[in-house]
Structure 1
């Protein structure tokens, strides 16, 4: 009997994952990752109530349950990265780093020391086999698909990962949990960044970043206002600029080394090209092929051709894209299959 470690967060998705795998005949045990010491004990990630919910589900399923303290790793790979990206004038995606380093590296390795053959999570994505190689693919629930957040998992790790919810829609998962009378069946999903308790700017200020006022320039370099600190802003933002030019003004570019924000009309938000760094590929990029590239989680994706440039990728869209944002991930798809991706650096 194959042994599976299920990463249990205290939510309905990971609870149902454990249930499905147990019903499929696996030898299942659950692990709750303690990642962050929240000042508000009943919100954010790793709250006491979440850990108790995970424990109650494990008890109902009659599976072993462990708590791993990964707070130091979480701070190093997720929180410090989050802070550093804002210092660089970029907009980070901490969930992607958490998946890569915490769940699918550190937790996977710890699970293997407990003789687990697989690590399973409640992500809505699939692992498919094509030409004897394993690939990530979109989940069948298009509205819940989370393959975007998993693009940089090394391909060799996929053989030790199970993603059973990729074959289900969210409403089906809730019904399965309700039928099994799991305590998490009707639990609401968390929408915020798990370690941010109020807003991200308060968190950054508490971390020691100093807000320094600077100039807001238009696209021609003319000073049109002052900003209160560049990390308060992201590409495409309109609110908080307090600039009047007779038409709506948006953040077009952030230049942290000069403490300057470029802001102008919406037309300047549209770009056709971008560069991806720190790339991870599951398949070779073909110069003559048209791919779908997503530039943020809720982006539907658009047609693009891709050129390899050393250890980077140059993406050229068929249509201009609004608010391409450095620090976010660009993820490449061939149909439902994830070809790879990287972090957005430049836009043209």
Structure 2
């Protein structure tokens, strides 16, 4: 079996592993136990047990909690479950709904990492006397000359650095990511070699609390006013049609506008929640020259040329920071308020911030 150096301080012997019930965190628990350190598995219950057992692709709930416990039983390590449904609802689910109501495109996975998964788990791990908290995220923690650095995973298809940009320096000192240097294929092989029942378990979906990906229905259930209709207008303010609620639209969207008569394809350029308007325009209107970032988390120097990733599936593009403005070397598309901009120097994560506003490259006459 592969061995992992958990980089424990001298004399340290206790590792707490955040366990979601999936293959990744289960393999981390096995690697921690194989290191010879005392290993404790911890799972946060983030959903109501009855509802959670009905959801396929969720994490930290129902069947997944049972799977985590079964893995710990097989490894002979302790396993604790803590009910954090209330904080998850407040910090992640409610904020998800409020962001859509405000015309922004949220990233609940980042909020979950910033709140229940890291902040709450940190406190629990400290209370349990842990020397580090290990997770199944695909990123690398590399110790530099001065402190620990966050780097992209070796497997680019699994890299999760975009979702972990808000990890603080203090958290990075305590965190360990043993899977960052492994391809997913090898992780599943390890799970099979160790006889873990989750070896072939499917990965969880991106937004684990949204059944079947129907986020609009969830938002309207939590915030009924999100279903209020309004006008679809062009960039000059001329009405082209009507919509059935801002929750159904995101910046860059082309499908589902249900308007005709335009000689060229139209895209959602921006949302105006105060007027309940969807503003559409040609693709050229989506080009963004710069974005203002808020609530920055800095993990490295932001001077000079760097690259920026403005969507989880996007490739990093050349840019530079000027004050709180992220200025792109070439106009970028698909930049939406509410999303995150994550900054890199090669493989190293320099930090990032939330996109608060954008500056168009094309100014309409």
Fold agreement, TM-score > 0.5: yes
- Unaligned 5+ residue runs, structure 2? 1-11, 360-365
Deviation at residue 284 of structure 1 after TM alignment: 3.1
Matched, 1:36 2:47: yes
1:298 to 313, 329, 334: 313
**How far apart, CA to CA, are the structure 1 residues paired with 2:32 and 2:204?**
24
Please give the residue correspondences for 1:1-348 in structure 2 after superposition, counting only pairs within 5 Å. Answer: 1-37=12-48, 39=51, 41-43=53-55, 44-198=58-212, 199-210=214-225, 211-244=227-260, 245-286=262-303, 289-308=304-323, 313-348=324-359
- Judge conservation of contact 1:326–1:345 (CA < 8 Å) in 2: yes
Change (3 A) 1:21 1:40: closer
- Judge conservation of contact 1:3–1:116 (CA < 8 Å) in 2: yes
Deviations 1:62-88 (A, max 9, x none): 110010100111011111111111111
**How far apart, CA to CA, are the structure 1 residues paired with 2:232 and 2:149?**
44
- Judge conservation of contact 1:305–1:317 (CA < 8 Å) in 2: yes
Deviation at residue 130 of structure 1 after TM alignment: 1.8
CA RMSD of aligned residues (A): 1.2
TM-score by length of 1: 0.95
**How far apart, CA to CA, are the structure 2 residues paired with 1:208 and 1:139?**
37
**How far apart, CA to CA, are the structure 2 residues paired with 1:42 and 1:62?**
29
- Judge conservation of contact 2:46–2:61 (CA < 8 Å) in 1: no
Deviation at residue 46 of structure 1 after TM alignment: 3.3
Which stretch shows the higher mean deviation, 32-41 or 269-278? Answer: 32-41
- Judge conservation of contact 2:290–2:328 (CA < 8 Å) in 1: yes
- Unaligned 5+ residue runs, structure 1? none
Deviation at residue 191 of structure 1 after TM alignment: 2.0
- Judge conservation of contact 2:22–2:59 (CA < 8 Å) in 1: no
Deviation at residue 4 of structure 1 after TM alignment: 1.0
Deviation at residue 40 of structure 1 after TM alignment: 5.3
- Judge conservation of contact 1:329–1:343 (CA < 8 Å) in 2: yes
**How far apart, CA to CA, are the structure 1 residues paired with 2:224 and 2:338?**
18
Which stretch shows the higher mean deviation, 172-181 or 192-201? Answer: 192-201
Deviation at residue 110 of structure 1 after TM alignment: 1.0
Deviation at residue 340 of structure 1 after TM alignment: 0.8
**How far apart, CA to CA, are the structure 2 residues paired with 1:328 and 1:243?**
27
Deviation at residue 111 of structure 1 after TM alignment: 1.3
